[in-house]
Amino acid sequence: MPINAQILDNPKSDRVRRIADLTRAKGRERSGRFLIEGPQTVREAVTWRPDIVQDLYVEVSQALEHPRIISSTLEKIVEQSQDATIYVHRCTGEVIRQISKDAQGILAVGNARAMHTGPEDLELGEQPQIAAFWQVRDPGNAGTVIRAADAAGCDAVIFVDDCVDALNPKVVRSTVGSLFHIPVLRMGTGEFFGWTAAHKLDVWAADVYGTEQRKPESLPQVLANADSVASGKAVLFGNEARGLEPGILERCDRIVSIPIYGKAESLNLGTSAAVMLLSLAMAGREMI
């Protein structure tokens, strides 16, 4: 890890301005880079995808005659970033905070293009489990569902149609590193159904209402049939406010709903995804 000898101490420098600009979509587009903030997320990036990390910015204590990284946690992350293409820059706290309020002493700049996964890059196993999200708009939700898909051992996440940018800093933070564990793809709606058909994957809609013709099956009944649960599939979740459109539901092979036993009206998207994906994973892999 090449370490920059100079300590960055000017919060108004061009470099600091350019990095802070990655919090905006335009800044990311312009530069082809994105921001990774906070110890846990940076550590996961450095551990699992050192190939996409370009620069690491870490806070040193203010006593600049003997600059020291401010904590052993951060020191370990820097030591871990052994990849010769990761450049380490030591900064004052002021510089770090100028770039991001969510850095907790460390942040990294990643290569957005190297993060890109296309359908042709996906290596799918025997009975692939895919988590797909149609028109997910809220960055916090997007991060949470990527994390849920990771925990459930899914092979990939697909953001279908008009979704939030997966490299938005709030998405990256909310995945707590899962963005670097599991491939995240983007597809149009037609492309998604074409791709699942070509790979002989059933599409299961996670939906409470279903259509006029097709009421949803209840998740616990679905879980009771371990064979069908383990089969290769993509589970498709709808927009956080509007769910899935009837036109989309009609194209799905099954419609499955999570039962609600109390008086709560609904579960939010992140909770639904975690309950559905982990229930299916548990039933498919460990039913005894």
Interface with its own copies by CB under 8 A: which residues? 48, 144, 147-154, 176-178, 181-182, 218-221, 223-224, 258-265, 267, 270-271, 274-275, 278-279, 281-283, 285-288
Nearest residue to 220 (alpha-carbon basis) of 278, 264, 259, 254:
259
> Tokens standing for 163?
């979704």
Residues belonging to the chain: 288
Contact 284, 229 (CB under 8 A): yes
Least CB distance to its own copies at residue 10 (A): 35
Tell whether the torsion through CA atoms of 239, 255, 211 and 259 is positive or negative: negative
| Closer by beta carbon to its own copies, 22 or else 146 | 146
5 versus 264: smaller Cβ distance to its own copies: 264
Shortest spacing between CB 101 and its own copies, in angstroms? 18
Q: Cα–Cα distance between 169 and 40 in angstroms, integer?
A: 14
Tell the burial category of 19 from Cβ atoms under 10 Å away from its Cβ (0-12, 13-18, 19+): buried
In this structure, how many other beta carbons lie within 10 angstroms of the beta carbon of residue 136? 28
Nearer to its own copies, 164 or 182 (CB): 182
User: 34-72 b/e with 16+ CB inside 10 Å = b?
Assistant: bbbbbbebbbbbbeebbebbebbbbbbeeeeeebebbbe
Q: How many CB atoms lie within 10 A of CB 198?
A: 9
Question: In the bound complex, what is the minimum distance in angstroms from residue 176's beta carbon to its own copies?
Answer: 8
- Residue 32 or 220: the one with the smaller Cβ distance to its own copies is 220
> Which CB, 109 or 283, lies closer to its own copies?
283
CB closer to its own copies, 108 vs 283: 283
Distant-in-sequence, close-in-space partners of 170: CB < 8 Å, separation ≥ 6: 139, 140, 143
Q: Write the DSSP symbol of residue 23.
A: G
Query: Rounded to the nearest whole angstrom, what is the least distance from the CB of residue 208 to its own copies in the complex?
Result: 12
Q: Using alpha carbons, select from 183, 173, 184 the residue that is nearest to residue 42.
A: 173
Residue 151 CB, nearest approach to its own copies (Å): 4
Give least dist CB 138 to its own copies, A.
Answer: 14
CB closer to its own copies out of 30 and 285: 285
Nearer to its own copies, 247 or 262 (CB): 262
Give the helix, strand, coil percentages of the chain, each rounded to 5: 40, 20, 40
Q: How far is the CB of 260 from its own copies (least distance, A)?
A: 5
Least separation in angstroms between CB 80 and its own copies: 15
